[in-house]
Structure 1
């Protein structure tokens, strides 16, 4: 099982444990994003950066086309960026593949994450990969964190 999926399911079970029996989609979006980002901030303070980043990733995935979700994400951008930056650590370090590319065929990698992965050549630092990605910083941080969490990068 994908390590992100396992951790995500555990976190969502916690978040939804006390959820109202009946709630609108908008209420669910607000409740989940707010709770996920509050937990991400708390886990970040406790140096549990893997759980913090997973909670942020879940918040970013929660009803992404909703205006409310976008507003909540924008309002909490600092919390999100702090979680990603804490997880990634020193941006001057050079990431490398944790497994050979031919073993990644079944890995759940999005096209954007695959693009970032293609920039990992053993010479570029994380900061340089972020610069050449052409993606907004938050998006590039998110996909780099996913690659590390899945054990694809080290």
Structure 2
């Protein structure tokens, strides 16, 4: 066999690809710079958290209030109330004219119940309206006599001698009025109840009542 024929039976030898090691690098100072070329990226909008609500342009506008308070009406412009007439007016007039009759009924009722203090008060009110009322005069005199008897019985006797037992520093805590204070200043342990009626300068009934009040307040004692 010829020598040329023997060579044709072997596969042809392939050329090896050049590796990156064999590619010549350009001379540089040791830094490699990469240039990025392409479209600019758009960042997404900021998302709101669960507690933030985007503002609505309509909410930022000033709105006219639905109701506007009106200024108060002038008092002088309010017309006066019409006078009462009819049944209501009759009731008002009858209550005024019958007040004297009410005093009479109250005086009689309290006197029948032996409430001489209340009956005397009603009689005095009736006399202030009708000074010539004989029944009021009679009830007034009777009530005064009954009350004087009750006060004297409470004090014991007109000959009993009153003596102050409260300390001078404690008198102001008794809450006495000027009449009781004046009567208390007249009590020195030597005057009897009858003498105090003469020097008190007050009506006998009022003096007896004041002495009873001082006795109940434990400001005086009677011997």
Greater relative CO, 1 or 2 (CA 8 Å, sep 6+): 1
- Give the corresponding residue for 1:75: 142
TM-score calculated relative to the size of structure 1? 0.58
SS of residue paired to 2:183? helix
- Give the corresponding residue for 2:184: 117
Indicate if the aligned counterparts of 1:84 and 1:141 stay in contact, CA closer than 8 A. Answer: yes
Matches within 5 A, 1:75-94: 75-94=142-161
- Give the corresponding residue for 1:59: 118
The gaps in structure 2 that reach 5 residues or longer are: 1-100, 129-135
User: Could you tell me how far 1:101 is from its partner in structure 2?
Assistant: 2.3
The gaps in structure 1 that reach 5 residues or longer are: 1-23, 38-55
CA RMSD of aligned residues (A): 2.9
TM-score calculated relative to the size of structure 2? 0.42
User: Could you tell me how far 1:83 is from its partner in structure 2?
Assistant: 0.5
Q: How many Å separate the matches in 1 of 2:165 and 2:205?
A: 23
1:115-139 superposed Cα distances (whole Å, 9 cap, x missing partner): 1111011222222111111222112
- Give the corresponding residue for 2:215: 148
User: Could you tell me how far 1:28 is from its partner in structure 2?
Assistant: 4.2
SS of residue paired to 2:164? coil
When the two structures are aligned, how many residues end up with a matched partner? 113
The answer to whether structure 1 residue 35 and structure 2 residue 113 are counterparts is yes
